[in-house]
Amino acid sequence: MEAQQGAGSSISESRRDHLLSITDSGLGYMSLEDMLSELLERIRDALEVDTAAVLLLDEDRGVLLARAARGLEEEVRQGVQVPLARGFAGRVAAEARPIIIDLEHADVVNPILRQKGIRSMLGVPLQAEGRVIGVMHIGTLVLRDFDEDDVALMQLAADRAALAIDDARISETRAVTAIMQRTLLPEALPEIPGMRFSAKYLPAGTGIKIGGDWYDVFQLTDGRLGFVVGDVVGRGVLAASVMAEIRTAVRAYVMQGHKLAEVVSMLNDLLVSMGRNRGATLSLLAFDPDAEELEAVVAGHLPPLVVDPNGDPRLLEQKAGLPVGVRAGNEYEAFHYPFPAGSRLLLYTDGLIERRGESIDIGFQRLADAAAAAARHPKTNLADDVYHALLDEMPLEDDVALLAIETLPLGGPLEMILPARAGVLAGLRSTLGRWLEAAGANEDEQFDVTLSASEAAANAIEHAYGGSESDFTVSCEQGADEVTVTVRDHGRWRTARPPGGGRGLSIMRKLVDDVEISSDEDGTVVKLTKRLADRS
């Protein structure tokens, strides 16, 4: 006891210098690679050992990877991997405590340690925010009894290294995350007359703000609208990169005009052939506005929820195919559902409804109730309303992605606020046509009113203030034996117009019974009225 204390105090002079060399703030200005090398060199000097190494934990694969080494450079060059809980470093990481061993009697996974002739080793865990992120170890070619001071100094160096590694990882992850989030989710949801889209995306946890959940909306080659919601196993940058591959592949196959079921089975084969070893679940749907029909393919994902125009919710519990990315050759099946105007569709990931220790059926019921309530009494938008109803009181345990698609009811008056862009005209005509049909207009009348309104809308778009940023409004009302469509914009109706504009006006006057144009500082209002022949 005395002898040890004496030795301890006599060493402490030089230890203090070593302590300073290890905590030197100058280390903080180096790159992570240089910093680790320099730190290991100083530890080798300070503790008079032959080898020093840092291994970092790859949480996704459950292995430690050699990252920096002194006297053991082969370890890094050969990319040594040590499984968690096995071998010397694996045990240090798994038990999260310093371990000292004598190699003659120890289980060592890494052959380089034996080849080098290392006899004694000391390993300490690298920890950040209470989690083990790696291991730092030292070794000697002669037998040595590492003492408490050695352990304390090593732990100090390990903490210094852990801090630097964590900082570097966070800034690297932040940069990657920022880029990925920009590219992974649609920049904006589409603006389509007669439809409303809303979405929510919330990665759980702090720090790495990216999960394996995603959603996407796109146009199909046949004019239908496509929707995807999915969930890649795991989280973090790796899961996100697989998600990005899936998102791109789905869009690419859809653009080539493949059927939905084919898209999913091609995606599955692609992921398996790329050897990603990460399963994913997804729902791929397409909505046909003219046929008012929904087509759905499900790959191991939770069933989509539809709320019908009466407000009754139902899960589309169809035969689901297997998750993608696990086994090649899976077949998928598409199912069709009516989706009349006034219907709502909710696509979501499990984080929205699953609670620890609770049956999933309770989650489905809660979702159905929340969606029905949100449909009856809308507050902001469907995705927001459902999200708040389900998760406001709950800590977020898992990532959540939620996409809501609503088709506006066509029974009564219809009002649409549209961006002043010519691209909305086709969708506007499609919605107007369906509204007029519901209002009892025959084919000629549907054509006449729709084309006239399209002319008025094209004029509003052409003369909109602020170019693409401004809006215009189209409202439809049904009288006893007539329909009225009103187009309001914030620009001035030009009386001196090029020939095209004049033709537009004369077409309107001939196709509908009354065209009323009024213009003031606020903008121009074009009111089109058409008497309907047969309202039986």
Partner 1 sequence: MSQIDFEQIDGMVIAHLKGDLDAANAAAVQRELAESLGPDALNLVIDLSRTRYLDSAGIDMLLRFSDRLDHRRAKLTLVIPESSQLNRLLMIVGLPEAIAIHPSLDEALAGQRSGEAS
Site residues for partner 1 per CB under 8 A: 223, 422-423, 425-426, 429, 443-444, 447, 450-451, 454-455, 458, 461-462, 499-501, 503-504, 506-507, 510-511
Does residue 302 contact residue 245 with C-beta atoms inside 8 Å? no
Identify which of residues 295 and 445 has a Cβ nearer to partner 1 in the complex: 445
Is the CA virtual torsion 423, 424, 427, 430 positive or negative?
A: negative
Amino acid residing at 272: V
Identify which of residues 20 and 426 has a Cβ nearer to partner 1 in the complex: 426
Strand partners, 416: 474
CA distance 3 to 5: 5
Q: At its nearest, how many Å lie between partner 1 and the CB of residue 338?
A: 23
Q: At its nearest, how many Å lie between partner 1 and the CB of residue 500?
A: 4
Identify which of residues 158 and 217 has a Cβ nearer to partner 1 in the complex: 217
Q: At its nearest, how many Å lie between partner 1 and the CB of residue 315?
A: 35
Q: At its nearest, how many Å lie between partner 1 and the CB of residue 474?
A: 15
Question: 3-state class of 247 per DSSP?
Answer: helix
Q: At its nearest, how many Å lie between partner 1 and the CB of residue 516?
A: 19
Identify which of residues 423 and 479 has a Cβ nearer to partner 1 in the complex: 423
Q: At its nearest, how many Å lie between partner 1 and the CB of residue 394?
A: 44
CA distance 17 to 266: 63
CA distance 61 to 419: 48
Token code pair at residue 219: 């146009």
Q: What is the largest CA-CA distance in the chain?
A: 113
Identify which of residues 412 and 423 has a Cβ nearer to partner 1 in the complex: 423
Amino acid residing at 509: R
Question: How many residues does this entry show for the chain?
Answer: 536
CA distance 8 to 384: 64
Token code pair at residue 119: 């006899």
Does residue 400 contact residue 352 with C-beta atoms inside 8 Å? yes
Burial 314-344 (b: 16+ CB within 10 A, else e): eebebebbebbbbeeebebebbebebebbbb
Q: At its nearest, how many Å lie between partner 1 and the CB of residue 528?
A: 14
Q: At its nearest, how many Å lie between partner 1 and the CB of residue 451?
A: 6
Identify which of residues 163 and 517 has a Cβ nearer to partner 1 in the complex: 517
Which letter does DSSP use for residue 321 in this model? B
Does residue 269 contact residue 328 with C-beta atoms inside 8 Å? yes
CA distance 115 to 483: 90
Identify which of residues 28 and 223 has a Cβ nearer to partner 1 in the complex: 223
Q: To 10 degrees, what angle do helices 32-47 and 2-23 make?
A: 160
Identify which of residues 36 and 416 has a Cβ nearer to partner 1 in the complex: 416
Q: At its nearest, how many Å lie between partner 1 and the CB of residue 423?
A: 6
Q: At its nearest, how many Å lie between partner 1 and the CB of residue 424?
A: 8
Identify which of residues 61 and 465 has a Cβ nearer to partner 1 in the complex: 465
| Sequence-separated (6 or more) residues with CB below 8 Å from residue 319 | 333, 335
Question: Which regions of 445-509 does DSSP assign to beta strands (E)?
Answer: 471-478, 482-488
Identify which of residues 135 and 420 has a Cβ nearer to partner 1 in the complex: 420
Residue 215 phi, psi dihedral angles, 5° rounding? -140, 160
Q: At its nearest, how many Å lie between partner 1 and the CB of residue 425?
A: 5
Does residue 442 contact residue 204 with C-beta atoms inside 8 Å? no
Identify which of residues 61 and 509 has a Cβ nearer to partner 1 in the complex: 509
